[in-house]
Amino acid sequence: MSAGKDELEIQSDTIGAIIKADKPLIVTNDTLSVELSAELLKQLNTGKRMKVVIKPVDERDGAIGRGYELKIFADGREVTDYTGLIPVIFDLSKEKLSTNDLSMLCGVMLRLNGNMERLGGNYDHETGKFTFKAKGLGYIFVTTKPEPVKLEFTLGKTGYKLNGIEMSMDVASMVVKGRTLVPLRFVAESLGANVSWDNVMKTVMITLKGQTLSIKIGELAPGMDVAAELVNGRTMLPLRFIAEYFGANIFFDNTSKSISIMK
């Protein structure tokens, strides 16, 4: 694919020759390479020509470099029902990535039906290229953002869900002075923080991204309107304070008394 071009059109006889050689067709622009297997070409080679479109789109939140929309047309008809694996390679050699960024790199796929999936991937330190396998066609990009977290609680119950997985804690969430208090450790660690406890000072420490916040039992930290409490050995903090500290969103269902925390 030549510079400045978003699409490549291939005639049927060329596709036939590639299939006969049992070799993949590799379509490349200046950042992204896509490998179309001979088997995939065989499925799509139903007419006189095929067109591969690799179109740059606006960056998504947390994306590294550009995202791309991958589409394939057979005789002018867009292929929407292919769900097989398609190897893709992003050239990140010009990106300034920290050691932490490299450890968090992940390929992401937004399919044509709107579903999003994290696909992992492998980074080559020598070439600066990141490889993963897209599942079907759609929008593909690379991110260093961690997997979104969803926590689901119900007031008065010790069971909760972390990204849909049933979990259990030893203290239930509760309401104190009109504020919902939740056990800090279960929420904070799920959202990527470290929690430590000073038994002498009766103080809990929350460490996130190199910053530490200390909160003493019975006292108000900046932004809190209900003091931290100790219940059965667990530090309980106001839910809204925790969510704002972590930059998370809260959804409360007053009918079911259920709470969702999403970040």
Q: Which CATH number is correct for 7-143, 1.20.120, 2.40.170, 2.60.220, 1.10.10?
A: 2.60.220
Q: What is the pLDDT of residue 213?
A: 92
CA 200 to chain centre: 40
Q: Which of 35, 34, 38 is nearest to 20 (CA)?
A: 38
Taking residues 188-205, report their average pLDDT.
92
Q: What is the pLDDT of residue 85?
A: 92
Taking residues 210-234, report their average pLDDT.
91
Please write the tens of the pLDDT for every residue from 14-70: 888 999 999 999 998 888 999 999 988 888 877 788 899 998 876 555 556 668 889
- What is the fold of 150-262? Copper Amine Oxidase; Chain A, domain 1 (3.30.457)
Please write the tens of the pLDDT for every residue from 248-262: 888 888 888 899 888
Q: How far apart are CA 69 and CA 28, in angstroms?
A: 13
Q: Quick check: 263 pLDDT over 60? A: yes
Domain with CATH 2.60.220 in the chain: 7-143
Q: What is the pLDDT of residue 2?
A: 47
**Distances in whole angstroms, Cα of residue 10 to Cα of each of 16, 76, 190:** 10, 12, 49
Q: Which of 162, 181, 190 is nearest to 225 (CA)?
A: 181
Q: Quick check: 3 pLDDT over 50? A: no
Q: Quick check: 114 pLDDT over 90? A: no
Do the Cβ atoms of 91 and 129 come closer than 8 Å? Answer: yes
Q: What is the pLDDT of residue 171?
A: 93
Q: How far apart are CA 246 and CA 249, in angstroms?
A: 9
Predicted TM-score (pTM) of the model is 0.59
Taking residues 3-11, report their average pLDDT.
76
Domain with CATH 3.30.457.10 in the chain: 150-262
Mean pLDDT, the chain, integer: 87
Q: Quick check: 4 pLDDT over 60? A: no
Please write the tens of the pLDDT for every residue from 172-187: 999 998 889 999 999 9
Q: What is the pLDDT of residue 30?
A: 80
Count the alpha carbons within 13 Å of 146 in the hemisphere toward its beta carbon: 11
Taking residues 119-137, report their average pLDDT.
93
CB contact set of 37 (below 8 Å; sequence gap of 6+) = 24, 84, 86
Q: How far apart are CA 91 and CA 131, in angstroms?
A: 9
